[in-house]
Amino acid sequence: MQRSGSPPGDGPPPGVTVRPATLADVDALVAMLVEVAGEGRWIGTEAPVDVDRRRRRMEAEVEGEDAIVLVAEAGGEPVGQLGLHLARYGVADLGMAVAAGWRGRGVGTALLREAISQARKAGAHKLALQVWPHNAAAVALYERFGFRREGYLHRHYRRRSGELWDAIVMGLPLD
């Protein structure tokens, strides 16, 4: 067990590998996003997800130059995913999700470690993200990697319920 606040160590948990996604992964990754969106609490995407649109968008990300999509897999099945959008001005915007049954086992850590390495290789000087304030697991994971809270968006995102949710803006300089 690592001490809270210590930098994350070693490689992925046993049996888990992290690699760039291919077009063959897209259906499974979109299905995972649909599941996580269905939980209703963690990610910006809300149910019902427009699956065709999502699939087209992810295919473009997997094939294009402006994004990096990573997949964590175990036993040949995807158990986590992470997307980086590479802005021309050098910031890589991050989104990620781990399948519910795989959380708390180091998959997110393994994905984030690889994402930081890939973002550096792509020439980004900074990672950026937004997270719901109630998402304690995600905030703790990001802070463990050295992300700092850079801002707070009050009543910023309108949810389909009509609620207005706050968001924390976080950043990790890479230079």
Ligand X SMILES: CC(C)(COP(=O)(O)OP(=O)(O)OC[C@H]1O[C@@H](n2cnc3c(N)ncnc32)[C@H](O)[C@@H]1OP(=O)(O)O)[C@@H](O)C(=O)NCCC(=O)NCCS
Q: Which residues bind ligand X (CB under 6 A)?
A: 2, 36, 42-43, 96-98, 103-109, 131, 135-138, 140-141, 144
The CB-of-53 to ligand X minimum distance in angstroms stands at 20
Closer of 63 and 150 to ligand X (Cβ):
150
The residue of the chain with the least Cβ separation from ligand X equals 108
How far is the CA of 131 from the CAs of 6, 11, 65, 91, 169, in angstroms? 21, 25, 25, 17, 7
Closer of 23 and 140 to ligand X (Cβ):
140
Buried b (16+ CB within 10 A) or exposed e, 8-36: eeeebeeebebeebeeebbebbbebbeeb
The CB-of-15 to ligand X minimum distance in angstroms stands at 14
The CB-of-42 to ligand X minimum distance in angstroms stands at 3
Distance between CA 70 and CA 56 in Å, rounded? Answer: 17
